[in-house]
């Protein structure tokens, strides 16, 4: 029944799109999921021969209503953003379609078609719910690979990918090593968590002992370069090596690896693709990410450059945190990383995600932003979306997100009060 209601809602939105013959405004979230969602809706609009303009936003600010109203559209579509900011969107004069999976705040008005998988007990990303509309509108599933990338790239990712089944997506049980296409195999092995091969030299020696070349034609060999026989030899040897350690769990070394057959090179691995999209979004180059999703080969070269810059920046920030342990204030329930101007507001979420240890305390990160303080939170112990949204409201700011990953922006002078409010709510 629920699915039927969802299908009805999607079809109402599709009719609205089909009946709009002026430029449609698309506003999407500036992150990997949002870029994927934007690519999916762009493809739909293009195939339905609609004119459209895409804007990316890190978060919904009150000014968005004026910006959209100045463009005088008849229809605005929000993807992967909007559900948490319904009151702000009410100031937009056009009809609105919201395809989002963030926690809902407020009641949609009559000019809004609000479609959120949480209302249907479905766990889907922003790209995922946008894909359901695409599938219904185009009556085919060709955009599923992009939905998979967005889902894997999203901060709230835990969703089942079954819903995206598609002949262009191959699933194979295999070694769970990151960087199948781009990382030298010895590096992937070094980071695989097996004590016997946990350094470059040990990993290189391990490969040569089992007769797998480390380089071919001057390039480092990656996991994707191996033939089936080599993959089998490698797997057997890894298990043998792993069993020497008491804590070894063979299961954790294997996963269902997806291959996107309609994409080239490293984009065939949705994890690597999602990493690239994340870099494009956080480095404020969403157009490059969008072009990648839509199949531009030229964009890949650009995206690789963006990724290199992104990694360099992250490396610098991680080193800064390491050498400034006093920047983390600790309480009984949470840690608060106060980065001030030392970490860019667009990257504080990534840094908090990287530092966060799910079995330990909730982690908050604070970075100075253009208009206040950007806060990012990751947790596994309580609903941070509720806490952060409430605390931000009390402190004249705004927040939102998901149960275990949320964020907010508050005025500069409200930092201590915000922490105090969070602490008392957590208790």
Find the binder of Zn ion among 13, 33, 180, 395 (CB under 5 A).
Answer: 33
Question: Pick from 364, 347, 214: which is nearest to 278 by CA?
Answer: 347
Q: Residues 227 to 246: which contact ligand C5P by CB under 6 A?
A: none
Number of residues that bind ligand C5P (CB under 6 A): 16
DSSP 8-state class, residue 23 = P
Looking at 59-67, 149-157, 283-291, 418-426, which segment touches Zn ion (CB under 5 A)? 149-157
CB 89 within 8 A of CB 65: yes
User: Does residue 220 sit in helix, strand or coil?
Assistant: strand
* Smallest distance from Zn ion to CB 427, Å: 30
When asked if residue 154 is in the footprint of Zn ion (CB under 5 A), the reply is: yes
**Closest residue by Cα to residue 31 from 402, 384, 368:** 402
Give the up-direction half-sphere exposure of residue 347: CA atoms within 13 A in the CB hemisphere. 21
CB-neighbour burial class of residue 425 (10 A; exposed 0-12, middle 13-18, buried 19+):
middle
Which residues make Cβ contacts (< 8 Å) with residue 57, sequence separation at least 6? 27, 28, 29, 30, 64, 81
Q: How far apart are CA 424 and CA 281, in angstroms?
A: 34
Q: Which of 272, 399, 414, 421 binds ligand C5P (CB under 6 A)?
A: 399
From candidates 131, 401, 410, 414, binder to ligand C5P by CB under 6 A: 401
What CA–CA distance (Å, rounded) separates 141 from 138?
A: 8
369 binds ligand C5P (CB under 6 A): no
Q: Which of 80, 335, 345, 414 binds Zn ion (CB under 5 A)?
A: 80
Q: Does 372 bind ligand C5P (CB under 6 A)?
A: no
349 scored as a contact of ligand C5P (CB under 6 A)? yes
Q: What gap in Å lies between CA 195 and CA 253, rounded to an integer?
A: 13
| Residue 275 sits in the site that holds ligand C5P (CB under 6 A) | no
- Phi/psi for 26 (5° steps) reads -115, 130
**Strands in 302-386 per DSSP E:** 328-330, 334-340, 362-369, 372-378
Binding-site member from 73, 108, 286, 407 for ligand C5P (CB under 6 A): 407
Residue number, 94 or 376, with CB nearest to ligand C5P: 376
Per-residue binding letters, 105-134, with Zn ion (x by CB under 5 A): ---------------------x--------
| Least Cβ distance, residue 47 to ligand C5P (angstroms) | 28
Instruction: Give 54 or 203: the residue with its C-beta nearer to ligand C5P.
Output: 54
- What residue 33 binds from ligand C5P, Zn ion, none (CB within 5 to 8 A, per partner kind)? Zn ion
Residue number with CB closer to Zn ion (203 or 375): 375
Helix (H) or strand (E) holding 54: strand 52-57
Q: Could you tell me the smallest distance in angstroms from the CB atom of residue 154 to ligand C5P?
A: 8
Using CB under 6 A, list all residues that contact ligand C5P.
59, 84, 102, 155, 349, 376, 398-402, 405-409
């Amino acid at each position: 029944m629920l699915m039927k209601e969802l299908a009805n809602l999607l079809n109402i939105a599709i009719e609205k799109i089909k009946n709009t013959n002026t430029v449609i405004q698309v506003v999407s979230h500036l992150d990997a999921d949002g870029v994927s969602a934007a690519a999916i809706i762009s493809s739909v609009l293009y195939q339905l021969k609609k004119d459209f303009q895409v804007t990316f936003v890190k978060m919904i600010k009150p000014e968005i209503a004026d910006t959209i109203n100045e463009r005088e559209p008849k229809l605005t579509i929000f993807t992967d953003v909007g559900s948490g900011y319904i009151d702000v969107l009410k100031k937009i004069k056009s009809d609105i379609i919201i395809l989002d999976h963030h926690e809902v705040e407020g009641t949609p008005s009559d000019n809004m078609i609000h479609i959120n998988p949480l209302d249907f007990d479905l766990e889907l990303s922003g790209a995922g719910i946008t894909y359901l509309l695409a599938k219904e509108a185009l009556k085919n599933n060709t955009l599923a690979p992009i939905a998979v990338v967005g889902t894997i790239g999203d901060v709230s990712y835990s969703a089942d990918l079954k819903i995206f089944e598609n002949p262009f997506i191959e699933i194979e049980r295999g070694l769970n090593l990151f960087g199948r296409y781009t990382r030298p195999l010895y590096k992937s092995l070094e980071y695989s968590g097996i004590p016997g091969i946990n350094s470059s030299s040990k990993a290189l020696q391990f490969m040569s002992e089992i007769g797998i070349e480390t380089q071919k034609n001057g390039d480092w060999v990656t996991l994707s370069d191996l033939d089936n026989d080599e993959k089998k030899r490698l797997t057997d040897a890894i298990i043998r090596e792993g069993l020497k350690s008491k804590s070894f769990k063979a299961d954790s070394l294997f996963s269902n690896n997806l291959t996107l057959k309609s994409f080239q090179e490293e984009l065939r691995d949705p994890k690597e693709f999602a990493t690239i999209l994340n870099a494009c979004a956080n480095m404020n180059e969403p157009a490059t990410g969008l072009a990648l999703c839509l199949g531009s080969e030229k964009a890949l070269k650009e995206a690789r450059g963006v990724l290199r810059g992104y990694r360099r920046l992250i490396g610098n920030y991680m080193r800064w945190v390491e050498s400034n342990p006093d920047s983390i204030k600790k309480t009984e329930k949470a840690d608060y990383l106060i980065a001030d101007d030392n970490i860019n507001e667009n990257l504080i979420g990534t840094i908090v995600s990287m530092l966060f240890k799910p079995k330990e305390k909730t982690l908050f990160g604070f970075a100075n932003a253009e208009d206040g303080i950007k806060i990012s939170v990751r947790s596994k112990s309580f609903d941070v979306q509720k806490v952060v949204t409430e605390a931000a409201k009390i402190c004249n700011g705004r927040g939102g997100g998901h149960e275990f990953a949320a964020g907010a922006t508050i005025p500069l002078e409200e930092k201590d009060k915000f922490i105090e409010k969070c602490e008392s709510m957590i208790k």
